[in-house]
A and B are shown apart, each in its own frame.
Chain A
Amino acid sequence: AQTVTQSQPEMSVQEAETVTLSCTYDTSESDYYLFWYKQPPSRQMILVIRQEAYKQQNATENRFSVNFQKAAKSFSLKISDSQLGDAAMYFCAYRSPNSGYSTLTFGKGTMLLVSP
């Protein structure tokens, strides 16, 4: 079974600064999908960014980018020019293409605090 590890329970960043959230995963599969989801307090989880393992190019979505290191099984999220609205719990998630029900396996999350 796949596992996802987020080793940083909490991270802090100041507005306009850059922060990197770490994620590692364990899998024996060669093809899979990775996601970062954001969960603001008392609000629904929303997708931040996704990466297909067969793509070597790192995904980028505006201020959000990933550093995908397939051999190291690492998938970190970089947030540039941090904003107060970025404060939330961030979850890294893995999906196997081989699972019949294609569910997500989540890490425990990293709480991001943003200060003015």
Chain B
Amino acid sequence: DTGVSQDPRHKITKRGQNVTFRCDPISEHNRLYWYRQTLGQGPEFLTYFQNEAQLEKSRLLSDRFSAERPKGSFSTLEIQRTEQGDSAMYLCASIRGAGANVLTFGAGSRLTVL
């Protein structure tokens, strides 16, 4: 494994369109997180998976957002009917266990909504 992979790295879309981001975590990592990072801010938690189960969702995750992790491997984050306020970097991170273990981040998917 070379790390956490995210695709695409950059997506430009028009308002109202749907977009989907994919994250491939490190294979032995059972926990997967999605964060959103806007300009000048630190990453903010969106949602969390333990294996295939989505166990936590932030209030930031409106009903236009949906995330899946089928079979506990890769994960997708879909945004429907995008708005300009959705423009941000979407970061995926994975970890095995918890505690002092370290989250490994992907390089992110930057979304620009015109």
B-binding residues in A (CB < 8 A): 4, 9, 33, 35, 37, 42-47, 50, 52, 91, 93, 95, 97, 100-109
B42 touches A106 (CB 8 A): yes
A35 to B42, CA, bound (A): 13
Q: Distance (Å) between the CB of A75 and the closest chain B CB?
A: 14
Residue of A nearest to B4 (CB): A44
Write 17 A-B pairs (CB below 8 A) sorted by A numbering: A44-B105, A44-B107, A44-B108, A47-B102, A47-B103, A91-B43, A93-B42, A97-B99, A101-B48, A101-B50, A101-B56, A103-B48, A103-B56, A104-B45, A106-B44, A108-B42, A109-B41
A-binding residues in B (CB < 8 A): 3-4, 31, 33, 40-45, 48, 50, 55-56, 91, 95, 98-100, 102-103, 105-108
